[in-house]
Amino acid sequence: MTDPDPRLDPPLSMPTYAVRAPLARWLAEEAARAAADFGRYRLLDAGCGEKPYAALFAPYVSEHVGLDNAAHAHADIVGPIEAIPAEDASFDLVTCIQVLEHVDDPAQAIRELHRVTRPGGRVLLSTHGAMVYHPNPSDPWRWTHEGLERLFAANGDWRSVTVSPGSGTASSLAMLNAIFLEHALRRTPLRPLRGVVVSLLNRGARWLDGHSAALRGTRPGTLAGNYHVVAERAA
94 in the same domain as 120: yes
26 in the same domain as 114: yes
Q: Tens of pLDDT along 57-98?
A: 999 999 999 999 988 889 999 999 999 999 999 999 999 999
7, part of any domain: no
175 in the same domain as 121: no
Is 165 in contact with 205 (CB distance < 8 Å)?
no
Give residue 33's pLDDT: 98
61 in the same domain as 36: yes
CATH of the domain at 126: 3.40.50.150
Q: What is the DSSP string of 83-126?
A: G-SS-TT-EEEEEEES-GGG-S-HHHHHHHHHHHEEEEEEEEEE
58, part of any domain: yes
Q: Tens of pLDDT along 195-215?
A: 999 999 999 999 999 999 999
Is 228 in contact with 123 (CB distance < 8 Å)?
no
Q: Tens of pLDDT along 12-47?
A: 999 999 999 999 999 999 999 999 999 999 999 999
Longest CA span, the chain? 60
184 in the same domain as 159: no
38 in the same domain as 51: yes
Q: With 80 as the cut, is the pLDDT of residue 2 above it?
A: no
Q: What percent of the chain has pLDDT over 90?
A: 88
205 in the same domain as 145: no
134, part of any domain: yes
Confidence category of residue 184, pLDDT binned at 50, 70, 90:
confident
132 in the same domain as 80: yes
**CA atoms within 13 A of residue 178's CA, in its CB half-sphere:** 29
Q: With 50 as the cut, is the pLDDT of residue 1 above it?
A: no
121 in the same domain as 46: yes
Give residue 190's pLDDT: 79
Full residue range of the structural domain in which residue 196 is found: 170-211
9, part of any domain: no
Give residue 71's pLDDT: 86
Is 63 in contact with 91 (CB distance < 8 Å)?
no
66 in the same domain as 95: yes
Give residue 173's pLDDT: 97
Give residue 3's pLDDT: 58
100, part of any domain: yes
Contact residues for 104 (Cβ-Cβ < 8 A; gap 6+): 80, 82, 138, 140
175 in the same domain as 150: no
pTM comes to 0.95
Q: Tens of pLDDT along 4-19?
A: 688 899 999 999 999 9
Q: d(Cα 160, Cα 72) in Å, to the nearest integer? A: 34
3-state secondary structure of 165: strand
Q: d(Cα 232, Cα 124) in Å, to the nearest integer? A: 9
5, part of any domain: no
112, part of any domain: yes
123, part of any domain: yes
Q: d(Cα 199, Cα 87) in Å, to the nearest integer? A: 45
Contact residues for 10 (Cβ-Cβ < 8 A; gap 6+): 16, 17, 20, 21, 24
Summary mean pLDDT of the chain: 95
Give residue 4's pLDDT: 64
Q: Total domain count for the chain?
A: 2
204 in the same domain as 105: no
Is 218 in contact with 165 (CB distance < 8 Å)?
yes
